Amino acid sequence: TMRTCSHQCFFFFLMICKVTSGFSFINSKGLLVSLDLRHRSISNTKLHLDGEGMAGSTFNKHILGDIIRALQPSYLSQVKKSIDGNLKGMETLDLEPFLNFQSTRTQVSWEVLANTLRQQQTSQEKSFRSKLEQGLIHSPLASYRVFKSSSNYLPESKSKSNMSITFYRDSAAWCPYCQKVYIALEEKQIPYRVVKVDMNSYAGSSKPSDFLRIQPSGSLPCAVIHRHREGNQNQNQSEDQVIQQSDDILAAIDALGSNNRNIKVKVPSLLPNSQAEIEYMKFLCDDGRNSLERRLYAEWLWYLTGKRRPVEYRQRFEAILDEVDSTLSSTDTPGPFFMGEFSMADIKFIPFVERQSASLLYYKGFNLRDASKWPHIVKWLEAMEARPSYLATKSDVYTHSRALPPQLSAGCEFYEGCEESRDAVDIYCLPTTNANASSSGIRIGMEWREEGWGNYYKDTQVAQREAAERIIFNHINIVKFAARA
């Protein structure tokens, strides 16, 4: 633990010091740390290392430096001040309402819960798992996907010969670059198989060796295009092409979806044809850091992670939003999409705008979906959310608020004024004046709902049954994880 996360480890030790007034630690390799804060003095902090150190004869000097820096008096004083500022004293918890509520509940088994759910499910809800297994549902849970428009539509067959693409994506569907590929595959209706690989930002993650053979960098997404040709004695032979960058994968998908012999319905190209359209697409999203999409991305990161000039960061982000809104309102491209009709530009913009909207609402209290300021962005988002290809990959504000910090090299900064929206996201409801309370005293009124889902979950009971199905189906792994200590 010391070697892999010294900063976090020492911060935890310092929290122990705050409670116990002192701490001593010695490991088998000869590291001794003694801290004594009883007199609120750091002068007697000591650090002793003997010959072999923590890593044998190849002692990690960087870790030693981390440890020494973590024990500097100025650092310890800063940590102590931060801890003191967050201490709120003793708080009395009244557990009686909760205990009364629990006493009225009947303890049931998972089997009883599953039977109860089946009695309430619609026929379509009951068929979810079987359709998922057949590859007929667009879902992050799917391991492969087929379309009835494919000439080789055989849902019972999962062999590579029936899949045009093997799509390597992140396990938890956090990655925006993977999301782009996901949307394009669905739009072009190309049969694909999914292989889930952990992102580098996952705690304790590692890449499987077979993936690293085709993608040595370990980056995601990655795709293998399976091109089939007739061989000797009528045996099909596969010529696989590995594509390692998301934009290159998008281009290959577009070409494959327009010319694939296995697809009866040819989907029009999502890339521009004329020179004028190519130049406009370049301005939108194909000109590296100079493109509108990347400039929007850069200003978002400054606003989300910046500390020194919060007002300036917000103004700069609002200015680029004005430019995006103006671009969408251009008379040269009528319609809600960037190129007028749905195109690859929309696929490249949407994963990042989704994360911008979610993160800024949570960390800044900033509403990107303000129709009074950016009406064309709001119309574009609504048009995107009406497309099944995107809606099935769309995540929620709560998930993004937790998933983004480990993915970014810098932390997400809370700004003053975000408390109301942050609390709404965290508990997924806002206390209301007319909220009813049960006899147990537990408030049951829920008024706030996240924007961007339209009528998808208009019936809350549908959403509740879906959540119940996911938990019941996966309850063994959930219980194992909850009991991992």
pLDDT digits (tens, 9 = 90+) for 250-308: 999 998 865 555 555 567 889 998 999 999 999 999 999 999 999 999 999 999 998 88
C-alpha to C-alpha distance for 51 and 438, rounded to whole angstroms: 65
- DSSP annotation of 453 reads -
pLDDT band at residue 147 using 50, 70 and 90 as cut-offs: confident
Using the predicted structure, report yes or no on whether residue 330 has a pLDDT greater than 70.
yes
* Helical H segments across 260-291, by residue range: 275-285
Quick check: 192 and 185 in contact, CB under 8 A? Answer: yes
> d(Cα 407, Cα 177) in Å, to the nearest integer?
12
Q: Determine the residue type at 310.
A: P
- Which region among 89-98, 243-252, 413-422 has the lowest average model confidence (pLDDT)? 89-98
pLDDT at 94: 80
Listed in sequence order, the DSSP H helices in 329-418 are 344-364, 375-385, 388-391, 397-407
Rounded CA separation 454/166 (Å)? 32
Higher pLDDT, 15 or 99: 99
Residues 6+ apart with CB under 8 A from 289: 295, 298
* Of 446 and 99, the one with more pLDDT: 99
pLDDT recorded at residue 33: 44
pLDDT at 148: 75
Evaluate if residue 439 carries a pLDDT over 90.
Answer: no
The H or E element containing residue 32 is strand 31-36
Mean per-residue pLDDT, 122-139:
93
pLDDT band of 231, cuts 50, 70, 90: low
Distance CA 482, CA 485 (A): 8
d(CA 263, CA 258): 8
Nearest to 32 by CA among 55, 11, 12, 53: 53
Q: Which pLDDT does position 98 carry in this prediction?
A: 76
Average pLDDT over the chain, rounded to whole? 78
Kindly report the pTM of this predicted structure. Answer: 0.73
Q: How confident is the model at residue 81 (pLDDT cuts 50, 70, 90)?
A: confident
Q: What is the pLDDT of residue 312?
A: 95
Q: Can you give the pLDDT at residue 50?
A: 38
Higher-scoring residue by pLDDT: 381, 13: 381
Residue 92 — very low, low, confident or very high, per pLDDT cuts 50/70/90?
A: confident
Q: Give the pLDDT score at 408.
A: 84
Structure confidence by residue, pLDDT tens digits, 333-359: 677 999 999 999 999 999 999 999 999
**205's tokens:** 């993650």
Note whether 197 and 207 are within 8 A (CB): yes
Write down the pLDDT at residue 132. Answer: 93
- What dihedral angle (degrees, nearest 10) is formed by the CA atoms of 195, 200, 202, 204? 100
Residue 314 has pLDDT above 90, yes or no: yes
